[in-house]
Amino acid sequence: MVRLATEVGSLQLKNPILAASGTFGYGLDLLDFCPPEALGAVVTKGLSPKPRAGNPTPRIVETPAGMINSIGLQNIGVEAFCTDVLPTLRQRKACVVVNVFGETEEEYATVIERLQREEGIAAYELNVSCPNVHKGGMEFGHDPKLLRSLVAALRPLTQRPLWVKLSPNAPSPLAVAEAAVTAGADALTLVNTFRALSVNARTRRPSIATGFGGLSGPAIKPLALRLVWEVHRAIPQAPLVGIGGIMSGTDAVEFLLAGASAVQVGTATFRNPNACLTVLAELEAFCQQEGVEDVRELVGGLVWP
Amino acid sequence: MDARVDQKAVLVARSQLSPRCFALDLVCPRPLPAQPGQFVMVGVSATSDPLLRRPFSVAGVMPTENGAQFQLLVKEVGKVTAMLRHLPLGSEVGVLGPLGRGFSLDSCGPHPVLVAGGIGLPPVLFAARQLQKQGVSFDLFYGAASEPELLLRSEIQKVVSGDAVFCTDDGSFGESVFVTDLLRKRWKSRYSHLLACGPNPMLHAVARLAREKGVAAELSLEEPMACGVGVCLGCVVKLADGTYAPSCQKGPVFRASELAEGW
Ligand SMILES: Cc1cc2nc3c(=O)[nH]c(=O)nc-3n(C[C@H](O)[C@H](O)[C@H](O)COP(=O)(O)OP(=O)(O)OC[C@H]3O[C@@H](n4cnc5c(N)ncnc54)[C@H](O)[C@@H]3O)c2cc1C
Ligand SMILES: Cc1cc2nc3c(=O)[nH]c(=O)nc-3n(C[C@H](O)[C@H](O)[C@H](O)COP(=O)(O)O)c2cc1C
Ligand code: FES
């Protein structure tokens, strides 16, 4: 028997596999393939104070071993989430991490204040790293000063864990990570998508409507691993949630070794709607084969040359 | 939605229909209760490149003892469609479906008219097969770039109870005209409903014609998709109320009246 239970800071998780924001709907869309309560946690699509329409189309294009998206945070808004979705998630006893998005500090606060009135939320993940919206998001994620002020402003609003999801596009991801932790973040999720461009040679135009988009999938795994390890080395006390191109149990192990306490599976769900569960099963099988009795043994276990 | 499953289908037959188009017959172990207009997400890759599955409309399906045999009509345009063209018979492919919302064949009145453009044929052919079974009389208009690209003509003739009208852009078969212009010319007042699939400019013309004639139109759209199951929001279509709806869930068949101008 492998012990899969783990923790991210103070938050206990039944296993280290989470569904990533924006790739699993609000947690109830794939019940027939991957019930949310089977996972360590589900991270919701980014929620804003009001519903958002999102970006024009085309929004996605496949690239070698990856995809570029520019969804623009289309979402149903925090109110509809609380009334239409959360009660069922609660009933199913799913561990719910709500991904929060705002264009201003006040908007982030509005979303959290509304969610504070609800039970059944395990943590907040602040999306300060979306490459696909003009305002908010990435601005906070690129500037340590802005981010420190944002986290400090939100910190008093809740006792629940505050995770900050970092942008790999920041001029200095390390400086941003340090700012988040200093201001009171309980954990860091890394990483969001990499700003990228796909060109259609025939039309001489970008493949997606907004020009730039965010690259995800196996193509970014080595880059994401590098960032997780760098941040883990620099701030070893900060709990990390690793993400970027995880398709298999071994991929998950690699992120744990680089210092992540848990991992999120994103784009893989698009290829296989039960990807989170196969990654979990493969992780367990890996531990069995390798004689790992407690998955937490792996965390930060990378042997650096 | 609950009927959808992810299963392995075995490729049992392939026939080349034109230089770039081919039909695939696949057998799957579990039921695939697809309605005309619904689609499946097909995965042929064991590696991360190509990464995602591709959507294909079901062209026809027959239940077998426990599972189903179904047909896809495919045009080779890139990586996955090239793989499908060269896949050895007996190979397994991942098939997730049936997905999406199909045509509402029960409410299309006494004499619907079906319109297909190019590789938009599969869902229209499936609808035709179903209407024939239901004993509904209908006409079918089918246009393609040139004669070789007009697929399965004799089969279509057999399935269509009313008129089957063919045309090509270059005049190599039938009239040299866009299929929507031909439909306008030959419009019959008894047409009760319009069902169509094809390239977007054709569908825009179909929607305009339907509005002029005061007839409801259902259009099967082809948006690029990543997940096919409503979680990525990559495949959205703009609706008349200004919101974006995932076409893999709310579509791929939409009523023309639901869609934003020029969507
Ligand atoms: C609901 C739905 C039903 C479909 N049914 C059929 C069908 O029955 N038969 C069939 O042959 N095709 C169908 N398509 C289109 C089919 O999905 C694409 O041709 C396929 O994804 C191309 O994959 P590829 O890897 O070969 O091409 P890629 O290598 O991914 O791309 C090659 C080229 O094809 C273009 N392309 C990619 N996706 C699409 C798309 N969705 N529509 C048009 N062009 C595209 C790309 O822009 C690129 O120029 C359907 C699409 C949808 C959304
Ligand atoms: C279509 C799509 C939508 C996404 N939406 C969000 C979002 O709303 N909020 C967020 O924090 N991250 C979002 N992401 C980023 C993912 O959660 C994840 O960080 C990224 O895709 C890298 O992981 P992956 O390679 O496993 O997909 C989205 C990614 C994709 C592909
Ligand atoms: S293809 Fe992912 S939402 Fe439609």
Residues 6+ apart with CB under 8 A from A87: none
Measured between CB atoms, which of B52, B94, B96 is closest to A67?
B52
For residue A207, pLDDT beyond 60: yes
B9 — phi, psi (to 5°)? -110, 150
pLDDT in tens, B160-213: 989 999 999 999 999 999 999 999 999 999 999 999 999 999 999 999 999 999
Angle subtended by helix axes A105-116 and A144-154, to nearest 10: 30
Confidence of residue A139 (pLDDT cuts 50, 70, 90): confident
∠ Cα B128 B134 B137 (to 5°): 60
Per cent of chain A over pLDDT 90 is 95
Q: Domain spans of chain B?
A: 5-99, 105-222
* Residue of B2, B4, B242 with shortest CB distance to A53: B242
Ligand in closest contact with the CA of A193: 2
- Find the residue in B nearest to A248 (Cα): B48
Please state, in angstroms and rounded to a whole number, the distance separating the CA atoms of residues B244 and B233: 9
Length of chain B: 263
For B5-99, CATH number out of 2.40.30.10, 3.10.100.10, 2.30.130.10, 1.10.3080.10 equals 2.40.30.10
Looking at the structure, give the CATH architecture of the domain made up of residues B105-222: 3-Layer(aba) Sandwich (3.40)
pTM, rounded to two decimals:
0.96
Q: Minimal Cα distance from A60: which residue of B?
A: B234
Residue type, A268: A
What DSSP string describes B134-176?
Answer: HT---EEEEEESSGGGSTTHHHHHHH-SS-EEEEETTSSSSEE
Chains A, B: CB pairs < 8 Å: 93
**Burial readout B117-146 (b: 16 or more C-beta within 10 A, e: otherwise):** bbbbbbbbbbbbbbbeeeebebbbbbbbee
Residues with a CB atom less than 6 Å from ligand 3:
B 225-228, 230-235, 246, 248
Quick one: what percent of chain B has pLDDT higher than 70? 99
Inter-residue contact A53 to B243 (CB < 8 Å): yes
Pairing type for strands B139-144 and B68-75 reads unpaired
CB contacts of B231 in chain A (<8 Å) are 23-25, 29-30, 269-270, 273
Distance between CA atoms of residues B41 and B247, nearest Å:
13
Enter the tokens of residue B1.
């939605």
Q: What is the best residue among B48, B56, B254 to mutate for testing ligand 1's pocket, by most ligand atoms within 8 Å of CB?
A: B56
Average pLDDT over residues B31-59: 97
Give the residue-averaged pLDDT of A62-77: 97
- Mean pLDDT calculated for residue range A116-137: 83
Q: Which domains occur in chain A, in start order?
A: 6-298 (3.20.20.70)
A53/B contact by beta carbon, under 8 A: yes
Provide ipTM, 2 decimals: 0.95
Residues of B in contact with A246 (CB under 8 A): none
Cβ <8 Å between B52 and A247: no
User: CB under 8 Å to B115, separation ≥6 — which residues?
Assistant: B124, B140, B141, B142, B179, B180, B183, B194, B195, B196, B197, B198, B202, B206
Active site residues of A: 130
The answer to whether residues B93 and B44 touch, using CB atoms and an 8 Å cutoff, is yes
Look at residues A28, A4, A3 and name the one whose alpha carbon lies nearest to residue A263. Answer: A4
B52 lines ligand 1 (CB under 6 A): no
Tens-digit pLDDT profile for residues A4-55 = 999 999 999 999 999 999 999 999 999 999 999 999 999 999 999 999 999 9
Q: Is B84 in the pocket of ligand 1 (CB under 6 A)?
A: no
- Residue B81, pLDDT score: 98
> A194-197 and A199-200: which strand pairing?
unpaired
